[in-house]
A = this chain, B = another copy of it.
Amino acid sequence: MSEKFQYSNDIIRISKFAKALSHPVRVYIIKKLSGMNTCCYSCDIVKELKIAPSTVSQHLKELKYAGLIQGITEGPFIKYCINRVNWGKAGYLFREFFGELPVEEGDICDIKLAENNKDIE
């Protein structure tokens, strides 16, 4: 009894994409690849971030698993690029998610800013 709560597909998807983006290395990679006409190799990231190849491989695997990137083999290299379809879906989801709060001025929530209210530095 008292069955488990079922999250909506959107909530599941947002949390999964967010998880994929929850590490600086992975945000770095996506930021790099989401620009114009940009692809990269694993070794590029190794050189740029100065971390072990196996670590980079692990992060790429997670991004691939999340569907955010894709790779094609090029001889001994694997060229990674954004998966535009899923990147677009993620963008849509997040834009909708963050867009839910109206931008207009005025009290949306009748709070007085409390002591535990801290801004991002």
Partner of A27, one of B11, B27, B49, B88: B11
B116 & A35 in contact (Cβ 8 Å cutoff): no
Interface size on A, residues (CB 8 A): 68
A82 to B97, CA, bound (A): 13
Interface centre among A38, A84, A109, A111 (most CB of B within 10 A): A109
- The answer to whether A42 has its CB under 8 Å from any CB of chain B is no
A27 & B48 in contact (Cβ 8 Å cutoff): no
Partner of A120, one of B13, B35, B50, B100: B13
B94 & A98 in contact (Cβ 8 Å cutoff): yes
Chain A contacts to B: CB under 8 angstroms: 2-5, 7, 11-15, 18-24, 26-28, 30-31, 34-39, 48-51, 64, 67, 70-72, 79, 81-91, 94-95, 97-102, 108-109, 111-114, 116-120
Are A37 and B70 also in contact (CB < 8 A) when A12-B24, A98-B90 are? Answer: no
Chain B residues, CB < 8 A from A102: 36
Closest-by-CB residue of B relative to A14 is B27
Considering the complex of A and B, which 3 residue pairs feature the smallest CB-CB distances, nearest first?
Answer: A91-B98, A19-B22, A18-B21
Listed by A's residue number, 22 A-B pairs whose Cβ atoms lie within 8 Å are A5-B48, A5-B49, A7-B28, A11-B27, A15-B21, A15-B22, A15-B27, A19-B22, A22-B22, A34-B97, A37-B108, A37-B109, A67-B119, A67-B120, A70-B111, A70-B113, A79-B111, A84-B101, A84-B109, A85-B119, A88-B101, A89-B120
